Amino acid sequence: MITNKNITLFVSGSIAVYKSLSLARIFIKNGNHVQVVMTKAAQKFITPLVFQSLTKDKVITNEFSTGEPDKIIHISIADSTDIAVVAPATANIISKMANGLADDVVSTTLLATKVPIFIVPAMNPKMLNNPATQRNLNFLVKNGDFIMDPANGFLAEGYQGKGRMPEPEDIFQWIDKKVNHPGNQPLLHKKIIVTAGGTRENIDPVRYITNRSSGKMGFAVAQAASNQGADVTLIAANTTLPVNNKKIDFIPVSTTQEMFEAVSKKFVNSDGLIMAAAISDFRPETIADKKIKKQPGQDTWTLKLIKNPDIIKTVGKTKRKDQFLVGFAAETNDLLANANKKISEKNLDMIVANDVSNPKIGFGSDENQVTFIFKDGNQQRTKKLSKVKIAEELIHAISKKILKVKDE
């Protein structure tokens, strides 16, 4: 059962707010501390004093209600929260969460909250089924939040329908199952590093050497790993892709050396590394501090390159038995031969062989077709799928073949 947690209960304006009192009581009875944060509309249904009497803690109703000038209240609450629960969640607060609006203490605190958010919608079926509400809910799921399915029953409007806030005990059991018994999350609490994008090596202040990687594959892998419960660190080079999952720790880098330093620092305390980034093998020996000018009569330009650190090979030398390494082989020829060679050379548990000579898949594309090659020689070729699906298959393969997680 959920116990010994700091739970923030966000209460928005719905007739179902009375059920939030029982929910808070259940949390407290199981040994948790509950901090209640209320919207103005919620206070029209139940006064903060009722929650305060129940929780034995001050209810937060606005940014200036704490009397503690040394604290920025919405940040302080967000930082101290282990589990965030929005119950009841109206269409209004759901819309604010999905669109990043922050115009009161509830929405500002939720925007700053990094821990899992459990959302319990409660509204009329017509509002629930509105395309805008469904779009917002779908976005929040993709963002890593949890949405509880509303209950069917008698509504305040006087007729039956789906939109009721579920019973408090059912809400508690639902949250407890997600937190403590996530059977569908085989990577729960695994610390996994994912790299993405293509590194750049500066020639002068305006020129650089790079590659065609968009970062799409690495971002999809990071999201798939997070969906399976992993604590993901995404180290990405030179990509404009958004990180929509607030549970993912995002570290932007530019050069191979910067990525090497970031990966080396994080790998020590990780369970594994998935190296999806396209790394520049070489960099200019010297970087000009001013733009290099073409000289009169100059028809050629010789650029001397030196070798960059081989990131995955380097960390492979320090890999513990309880860590795993997954590499990517982006090749234009002799795909499987080159990929197999890298497994032994770099102490990999698995490599994803990717034929980037096909313009319809690979770099920049939304689709891909790859072959998973394991260190025991087994191979698994995927169909041509979206990179999101490829990422899901990769994470599943890592769970079953490397981490030996059994299906429940």
Q: Give residues with Cβ within 8 angstroms of 2, minimum separation 6.
A: 27, 30, 32, 83, 172, 175, 176, 179, 180
3 state DSSP class of 271: coil
Cβ proximity of 263 and 273 under 8 Å:
yes
Within a 10 A sphere around the Cβ of 8, how many other Cβ atoms? Answer: 26
Inter-helix orientation angle 168-180/17-29, to 10°: 50
Task: Please give the full DSSP string across 88-133, using - where no structure is assigned.
Answer: EE-HHHHHHHHHT---SHHHHHHHH--S-EEEEE---HHHHTSHHH
Catalytic residue list contains 358: no
Amino acid identity of 232?
Answer: V
Lookup result for tokens 């919207």? 39
| Catalytic residue selected from 136, 211, 238, 308 | 211
- Rounded CA gap, 38 and 45, in Å? 11
- Rounded CA gap, 114 and 15, in Å? 28
Amino acid identity of 146?
Answer: F
Cβ proximity of 252 and 197 under 8 Å:
no
Q: Give residues with Cβ within 8 angstroms of 141, minimum separation 6.
A: 147
Mind telling me the catalytic residues? 211
